[in-house]
């Protein structure tokens, strides 16, 4: 799946979670060869509709280059307004990219453009996708053989630090209405998608026990982004009103998470 499509789904995530029926969508995705009956059973095993659609949205980006068109095809019959919403986000992202390309250092104007594959259809005219080669479930770009590598092996007690050590810089320039607002599910998913194995150190800073961290690891053993997404969603629910942008930024900083993972999320 192209990055711009992934980013659009992230920005629409809350809207999609509130709107879609996962069972109907999965039937279409099975017909398109994007998922299997076993994968559907795994997702339908979640206790609530919200968790089922969240799991489906986590799963789709891992299913190869044809997954986005197949997902959009599953919306065509009953969710035309959702298709419009997603493409509205894609167009906005494309315009942002074009503005950045047209304003390089030195004032030269670039003529590059980002190509968005046409819709409808998963393999219709205008599509840039090759015939899909479905990766093995639950693979994707995040597969790893050792998610416990590196600093994440340190005991929880040794990783706790004080917020007083956090540097300020660009964070101080954020408006108070941004700093103090609750972090959104879409923002958490974006961070989970890019954080890599640092999520375990972040989990320790958030106060999760080693047993809880192991539980998150078992949620999806071969995909760190899904492990991180589950952990961050749990933190958001547990902290409630304290799950603010500024508190999350401080936790990310003392966990030594690279700023590129989250700065654009809160500065955009």
What per-residue confidence (pLDDT) applies to 220?
67
From residue 144, give the alpha-carbon distance in Å to each of 149, 166, 189, 210. 10, 30, 19, 20
Segment 239-248 long-range contacts (CB within 8 Å, at least 24 positions apart): 241/182, 243/182, 243/183, 244/179, 244/180, 244/181, 244/182, 244/183, 245/174, 245/178, 245/179, 245/180, 245/181, 245/182, 245/183, 245/187, 246/171, 246/174, 246/179, 246/180, 248/183
What per-residue confidence (pLDDT) applies to 163?
40
pLDDT tens for each residue of 209-232? 988 888 888 866 667 888 888 899
From residue 93, give the alpha-carbon distance in Å to each of 14, 133, 155. 18, 27, 41
- Domains annotated for the chain, with CATH where assigned, are 3-101 (1.10.533.10), 150-267 (1.10.533.10)
| Structure tokens that stand for 230 in this block | 């589950």
Assess contact for 58 and 222: CB atoms under 8 A.
no
What per-residue confidence (pLDDT) applies to 248?
95
The low-confidence residues of the chain, meaning pLDDT below 70, are 104-168, 219-222, 268
The answer to whether the Cα torsion of 148, 200, 144, 55 is positive or negative is positive
Query: What backbone phi and psi angles, to 5 degrees, belong to 182?
Result: -65, 140
Closest by CA to 50, choosing from 7, 12, 80, 15, is 15
* pTM of the entire predicted model: 0.42
DSSP codes joined into one string, 203-214 = HHHTT--HHHHH
What per-residue confidence (pLDDT) applies to 100?
82
Assess contact for 152 and 217: CB atoms under 8 A.
no
Place of tokens 């942008």: 245
């Amino acid at each position: 799946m192209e990055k711009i499509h992934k980013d659009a789904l992230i920005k629409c995530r809350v809207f999609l979670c509130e709107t879609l029926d996962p069972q109907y969508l999965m039937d279409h995705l099975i017909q398109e060869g994007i998922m299997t009956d076993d994968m559907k059973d795994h997702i339908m095993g979640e206790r609530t509709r919200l968790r089922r659609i969240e799991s489906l949205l986590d799963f789709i980006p891992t299913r190869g280059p044809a997954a986005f068109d197949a997902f959009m095809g599953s919306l065509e019959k009953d969710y035309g307004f959702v298709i419009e919403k997603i493409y509205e986000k894609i167009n906005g992202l494309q315009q942002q990219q074009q503005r950045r390309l047209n304003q390089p250092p030195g004032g030269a104007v670039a003529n590059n453009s980002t190509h968005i594959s046409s819709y409808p259809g998963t393999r219709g005219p205008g599509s840039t996708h090759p015939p899909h080669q479905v990766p093995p479930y639950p693979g994707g770009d995040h597969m790893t053989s050792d998610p416990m590598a590196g600093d994440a092996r340190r005991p929880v007690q040794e990783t706790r630090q004080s917020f007083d050590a956090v540097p300020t810089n660009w964070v101080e320039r954020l408006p108070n209405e941004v700093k103090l607002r609750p972090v959104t599910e879409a923002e958490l998913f974006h961070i989970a998608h890019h954080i890599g194995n640092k999520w375990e150190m972040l989990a320790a800073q958030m106060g999760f026990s080693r047993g809880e961290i192991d539980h998150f690891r078992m949620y999806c053993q071969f995909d760190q982004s899904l492990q991180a997404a589950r952990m961050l969603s749990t933190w958001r629910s547990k902290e409630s009103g304290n799950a603010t942008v500024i508190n999350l930024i401080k936790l990310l900083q003392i966990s030594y998470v690279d700023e590129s993972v989250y700065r654009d999320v809160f500065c955009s």
